[in-house]
Structure 1
């Protein structure tokens, strides 16, 4: 069954917490309150994939500036002059793994970013996901300033800031 992509709803938060718990180590789990704030900050960039059992994957994004890293549990803060779609927290439930749902969600948000004429997309890769993101066009960026390096270190696990040009 092909999943349905749709905007996230507040009622999806319990399912998102369950998917997050399957996908991430305990160090990386974000609370229901943080997830609700992410949804509130950029509802047009918070999406879920659903199957017959309900939400099976999700992705948060927001408009940012290239070279800016959101710390773990950090608030999304959109600048006055965004040039980048920042992807945060893509997770797929075990039951939906291997069906290409993650790339579908990413493509949905990248299409939105291109329509808004954003020049870049960026993210923080954790849990050995760098190869996945590389297949989707992202490359490691190592030119972060000291403050952004500290934000990257907030993840408490090996983390890599990755970027791709959109135009």
Structure 2
């Protein structure tokens, strides 16, 4: 992903998510700048058709909605945040391909886990990829999860 892709990312985000889940241009830009190696887009004949942001974190740490990404010195987890595929590109396996690319990077980087927040009924998709709901979150992380304002499930999977 590059700076020139942000407008397309925002358009796909708006098409894909409920209004309470939309994140700002500034936070999208911050994420790209903080972790350019873990910010990916897919393109088809019409341009950007999907995107995925990831970053290195700790298992059990939930990023609040519109929260900035920051990497701890002792990261053990690849956090996937905000996978979206344009309607025109649905059903082609593009989202899965982006996820696999980031998971491969996490394994190469010797991270032990991958985690994410599932929203909008996506829990079955993530479960098929080996993620499981993790309910044992401390109160601060429960508040971060609640910041999504919609039903949200924190999910984790081992990478090795």
- How many Å separate the matches in 2 of 1:137 and 1:9? 30
Please say if 1:99 is aligned against 2:77: no
Q: Any idea what SS the aligned residue of 2:81 has? A: strand
Question: Which runs of at least 4 in structure 1 moved beyond 2 Å after TM superposition?
Answer: none
Unaligned runs of 5+ in 1: 1-7
1:146 to 131, 139, 144: 139
> What residue in structure 2 maps to residue 4 of structure 1?
none
Please say if 1:49 is aligned against 2:42: yes
> What residue in structure 2 maps to residue 131 of structure 1?
124
- How many Å separate the matches in 2 of 1:165 and 1:33? 31
> What residue in structure 2 maps to residue 39 of structure 1?
32
- How many Å separate the matches in 1 of 2:129 and 2:94? 13
- For residues 15-47 of structure 1, what are the alpha-carbon distances to aligned partners after superposition, in whole Å with 9 as ceiling and x for unaligned? 001100110000000111110001011000000
Q: CA RMSD in A?
A: 0.4
- How many Å separate the matches in 2 of 1:106 and 1:164? 13
- For residues 44-82 of structure 1, what are the alpha-carbon distances to aligned partners after superposition, in whole Å with 9 as ceiling and x for unaligned? 000000001110000000000000000000010110100
TM-score by length of 2: 0.99
How many angstroms does 1:137 deviate by?
A: 1.0
- How many Å separate the matches in 2 of 1:140 and 1:119? 17
How many angstroms does 1:10 deviate by?
A: 0.4
> What residue in structure 2 maps to residue 110 of structure 1?
103
TM-score by length of 1: 0.95
